[in-house]
Amino acid sequence: MDHLILSKPGKNTNCTIQLTGSKSESNRALILNALSGGRVKVKNLSSADDTVTLAGIVEEVKGERLKVKDGDQAILELPVINIGPAGTAMRFLTAYFAVTGTEVILTGTERMKQRPIGILVDALRSLGAEIDYVEKDGFPPLQFKSSFEQKKDKISIRGNISSQFITALLLVAPSLPKGLELTIEGELTSRPYVEMTLRMLQEAGIEHHWKDDVIKIASQEFKDSEITVEPDWSAASYWYSIAALSEKGSVILPYLKKDSLQGDSRIVSIMESFGISTEFTAVGLQLSRNGNSPKGTFFDLKDCPDLAQTVIVCSAALGHNATFTGLETLKIKETDRIAALQNELAKIGVSLNEDHENYHLDCSGLHFPDKIAISTYEDHRMAMAFAPLALKINKLEIEEPQVVGKSYPSFWEDLKKAGFEIE
Ligand SMILES: O=C(O)C1=C[C@@H](OP(=O)(O)O)[C@@H](O)[C@H](O)C1
Ligand SMILES: C=C(OP(=O)(O)O)C(=O)O
């Protein structure tokens, strides 16, 4: 399907939506399951395409079907594993293949070949891994060699490009013969994702020690354990935006927890500023409008970059001028999300202007045409962040709507449950 047209005849929204499992938790759990030889079990895995892809690869690797046999014959060619657009899985598998000495080539989409990985490769090489770049230095595809011998246990890594590099190293750390002492240099971006990793390792029986910029994990065994993946808070954020743009109503999202491992649960406090109250009830999280008009004017999203599109588009649609910071990493995600937001917000007369580390949202020209078409740039979050605009625009065309599959395959079906019409 090259596009769909979204409309919302009634402006009240009342629904209960069962969200799929967290993509971030699921991807970590799959790596822990593989490294622990199945001792760490996983429940409620996400149905996100990225997780399904990673699960399939991990299954193949566990079954050793990827191993190239030399025997009497010369090795013909290495297995090529294509991770598609899944950045988290790309980074986690890089560490996994490196330290398990799995001889493969790991590649992804054209966009994946533009997403940096050099910092992680350098770190793994200094630990002793043999990894080559197949095309361009610093970027996928990567080629892994069949052996790994740990050379050292103390390494440093820059923290401000992607926390996924740090998580990737932490996940494999307990399986390293000498363990790992990781020093994070400079600022740490997306910090809650590192905390999530350490908390999940803890659930799997792995101790760590984190003081200032140094995280230590000794070589140790996983324990028999079971990880239950919580629903995805990044996915929940689109429902917050829908509630904020609806006239009235309430949305119930079962099984989301107050004490979540996911940093994107910060959407609760961010959306307080946009007039949405959250209650944790017996049936799940219930969000509803409290009648207050938007009030916050400065939002730091360094800890929760995946919320940026949701919050910026919602603020724009409410005509609420605000300043956002902590958006540096958005340029190297599924697309350059800053450029994508600027292009698409211009269609409703809103601009997002860079000013050193800040971005100012200027809604002075806000208008809602009867019909607009939103481009999605192969980015699930562009499609989902703009979809709530159907509450303001009669016919909202979303191009390449299947992009949502990356993290939230049932997104359009769920919108129908909430009274959206889709042509
Ligand atoms: O570890 C994770 O699961 C993730 C970390 C974040 O990436 P960065 O650390 O690159 O910001 C986030 O944007 C991504 O969607 C998921
Ligand atoms: C950045 C994201 O994912 P990844 O880095 O895993 O591709 C995302 O889901 O918004």
Domain CATH number, residue 250? 3.65.10.10
Starting from the CA of residue 24, give the closest ligand: 1
Q: Which atom of ligand 1 is nearest to the CA of 193?
A: 1
Please tell me whether 381 is known to bind a ligand: yes
Torsion of CA 120, 121, 125, 129, to 10 degrees: 100
Q: What is the pLDDT along the chain (423 residues), one digit of tens a residue?
A: 799 999 999 999 999 999 999 999 999 999 999 999 999 999 999 999 999 999 999 999 876 645 544 444 444 578 999 999 999 999 999 999 999 999 999 999 999 999 999 999 999 999 999 999 999 999 999 999 998 999 999 999 999 999 999 999 999 999 999 999 999 999 999 999 999 999 999 999 999 999 999 999 999 999 999 999 999 999 999 999 999 999 998 999 999 999 999 999 999 999 999 999 999 998 899 999 988 888 989 999 999 999 999 999 999 999 999 999 999 999 999 999 999 999 999 999 999 999 999 999 999 999 999 999 999 999 999 999 999 999 999 999 999 999 999 999 999 999 999 999 999
**Residues paired with residue 322 on neighbouring β-strands, in sequence order:** 361
Residue nearest to atom 5 of ligand 2 (CA): 87
Q: ipTM higher than 0.95?
A: yes
Q: Which amino acid is at 151?
A: K
- Are the C-beta atoms of residues 166 and 191 closer than 8 Å to each other? no
Pull the structure tokens for residue 51. 């997780």
Predicted local confidence at residue 76, as pLDDT? 56
In this structure, the chain runs to a length of: 423
303 and 182 within one domain: no
326 and 197 within one domain: no
Q: Is the CB of 88 under 6 A from ligand 2?
A: yes
Predicted local confidence at residue 64, as pLDDT? 61
Q: Is the CB of 381 under 6 A from ligand 2?
A: yes
Pull the structure tokens for residue 297. 């004017």
- Are the C-beta atoms of residues 195 and 28 closer than 8 Å to each other? no
92 and 27 within one domain: yes
Q: Which amino acid is at 82?
A: N
Q: Which residues line the pocket of ligand 1, CB cutoff 6 A? A: 24, 88, 162-164, 167, 189-190, 193, 305-306, 329
Pull the structure tokens for residue 122. 């350098």
> Residue 300 and residue 282: Cα distance in Å, rounded?
31
Instruction: Find the 373 Cα to ligand 1 centroid distance in Å.
Output: 28
Instruction: Find the 87 Cα to ligand 1 centroid distance in Å.
Output: 8
Q: Is the CB of 91 under 6 A from ligand 2?
A: no
Please tell me whether 65 is known to bind a ligand: no
Please tell me whether 87 is known to bind a ligand: yes
Residue of 267, 333, 404 to test ligand 2 pocket, by largest number of atoms within 8 Å of CB:
333
Report how far Cα 106 is from the mean position of its chain's Cα atoms: 20
Report, as residue numbers or ranges, the catalytic residues: 306
70 and 168 within one domain: yes
Predicted local confidence at residue 74, as pLDDT? 41
> Residue 73 and residue 323: Cα distance in Å, rounded?
63
274 and 166 within one domain: no
Predicted local confidence at residue 61, as pLDDT? 84
Q: Is the CB of 115 under 6 A from ligand 2?
A: no
Q: List alpha helices for 204-324, DSSP H.
A: 233-245, 267-272, 308-317
Instruction: Find the 304 Cα to ligand 1 centroid distance in Å.
Output: 8
Q: Which atom of ligand 2 is nearest to the CA of 162?
A: 5
What's the alpha-carbon Rg for the chain, to the nearest Å? 22
Could you give the angle at the alpha carbon of 200 between the alpha carbons of 194 and 203, nearest 5°? 150
> Residue 421 and residue 413: Cα distance in Å, rounded?
10
Please tell me whether 406 is known to bind a ligand: yes
Chosen domain end from 202, 228, 254 = 228
> Residue 110 and residue 11: Cα distance in Å, rounded?
40
> Residue 4 and residue 79: Cα distance in Å, rounded?
37
Instruction: Please count the other Cβ atoms lying within 10 Å of the Cβ belonging to residue 145.
Output: 15
Instruction: Find the 58 Cα to ligand 2 centroid distance in Å.
Output: 19
Please tell me whether 152 is known to bind a ligand: no
Chosen domain end from 228, 248, 280 = 228
267 and 301 within one domain: yes
The pLDDT tens digits for 124-173 are 999 999 999 999 999 999 999 998 999 999 999 999 999 999 999 999 99
Instruction: Find the 158 Cα to ligand 2 centroid distance in Å.
Output: 19
123 and 142 within one domain: yes
- Are the C-beta atoms of residues 94 and 102 closer than 8 Å to each other? no
Instruction: Please count the other Cβ atoms lying within 10 Å of the Cβ belonging to residue 99.
Output: 24
Could you give the angle at the alpha carbon of 280 between the alpha carbons of 277 and 286, nearest 5°? 55
> Residue 199 and residue 229: Cα distance in Å, rounded?
13
State the total domains in the chain. Answer: 2
Instruction: Find the 153 Cα to ligand 2 centroid distance in Å.
Output: 29
101 and 239 within one domain: no
250 and 222 within one domain: no
3-state secondary structure of 300: strand
> Residue 304 and residue 28: Cα distance in Å, rounded?
18
Closest C-alpha among 247, 101, 87 to residue 164: 87
Residue nearest to atom 7 of ligand 2 (CA): 87
Residue nearest to atom 12 of ligand 1 (CA): 306
Residue of 88, 93, 161 to test ligand 1 pocket, by largest number of atoms within 8 Å of CB:
88
7 and 88 within one domain: no
Instruction: Kindly give the interhelix angle for 87-100 and 49-62, rounded to the nearest 10 degrees.
Output: 10
> Residue 69 and residue 118: Cα distance in Å, rounded?
29
Residue nearest to atom 9 of ligand 1 (CA): 163
Q: Is the CB of 305 under 6 A from ligand 2?
A: no
Please tell me whether 333 is known to bind a ligand: yes
Q: Which atom of ligand 1 is nearest to the CA of 196?
A: 1
351 and 306 within one domain: yes
Contacts of 310 (CB under 8 A, 6+ apart): 237, 238, 240, 241, 267, 381, 384, 385
Residue range of the domain that includes 273:
3-21+231-422
Chosen domain end from 228, 244, 263 = 228
258 and 188 within one domain: no
Instruction: Find the 87 Cα to ligand 2 centroid distance in Å.
Output: 6
